[in-house]
Structure 1
Amino acid sequence: MSRKASQLDLTATLRQVRDPVITVECRLCGRSGQLERATLVKKHGAGVSFGRLRRMAAMGCERLVSEDGDRCGTRFPCLD
């Protein structure tokens, strides 16, 4: 059972969101992908935050560390 929540944000962890597949997408670049929750938990632990996962997924995005701050559009629809 997934815990969909408008109250969740990037501080949410994989422990809180139990969807078997986690979708990640960037509104600005049009990139998207799917990550298996079980693989993420095995590699990073259930306590990993979506903020950390976002930084890993967006690695190399020049918008993530621009002069104007974080302007990267990477997001997780399960947190909406």
Structure 2
Amino acid sequence: MMMSTVLNDPTPIGPRLTEKQIEIRDLVARGLTAKEIAVRLGISHRTVEWHREEIYKRMGVGNAIEMIRKMLDADRP
């Protein structure tokens, strides 16, 4: 099962993420900074930071490392 599919299922890790949040979550997981993501998506870095905090809240994590760990755990059978 692909990680993106699992991560947008509300059952294993909480409420669904929006398409923009999924896009930002994936870029955060790849190690991009808020400013790098902002340039790539053509939005303000503060908007990226807001989305990132919402992602963390919805996933029940406090930072990118916990988010990635939860993503990997959700992808395991």
Q: TM-score, normalised by structure 2?
A: 0.31
The structure that is strand-richer by fraction is 1
Q: Radius of gyration: which is bigger?
A: 1
